[in-house]
Amino acid sequence: MKITFQGGEVHLEGVALVEGAKAPDFTGVKTDLSPWSLKDAGDTVKIISSVPSLDTPVCDVQTKRFNKEAASLPGVTVVTVSLDLPFAQARWCAAANANSHIVLSDYAERDFGKKFGTLIKELKLLTRAVFVLDKNNVVKYVQYVPEITNEPDYESAIKAAKELL
């Protein structure tokens, strides 16, 4: 899989997840500094949106879109993960009125980035990706966006999640 940032190739650390694989549990930090792990979502369908930084235009659009979708997807846990510090994430969430989903920081251990194969070796940021997991955490949809500055395929991810309800 080739991933580029502004046209230049970058390399991802960890193992890329594929459809049909069991998603590994991971732990990150919520905006209130409390820990959160995949198991905390219980037996819900999950949409996990990985972004480089909420402070960039495309990440801002992506996170707002999934926050909006989360409000109309009962039974789906929507999570956005970045390496932004929880303080910055909390500030962004307040400014964007983003309170329909979980915003999670992977800054402490890079646990998500390593386990989901999204940690960009050269930039030490997460790549843009979307994962849809069923109630048993089996990956049913995955998109590692080939060019990090592009938006993901929202419609396909949302459709995949709805089909699992």
Reference 23, options 110, 100, 130; nearest CA is 130
- 101-123 per-residue burial string, b: 16 or more CB within 10 A, e: under 16: bbbbbbbeebbbbbbbbbbbeee
Catalytic residue among 12, 47, 59, 160: 59
Q: What is the dihedral of CA 11, 17, 19, 23, to 10 degrees?
A: -160
DSSP 111-123: HHHHHTT-EETTT
Active-site residue, 59 included: yes
Partnered with residue 81 across adjacent β-strands are 50, 104
Contact 129, 17 (CB under 8 A): no
Residues marked as catalytic: 59
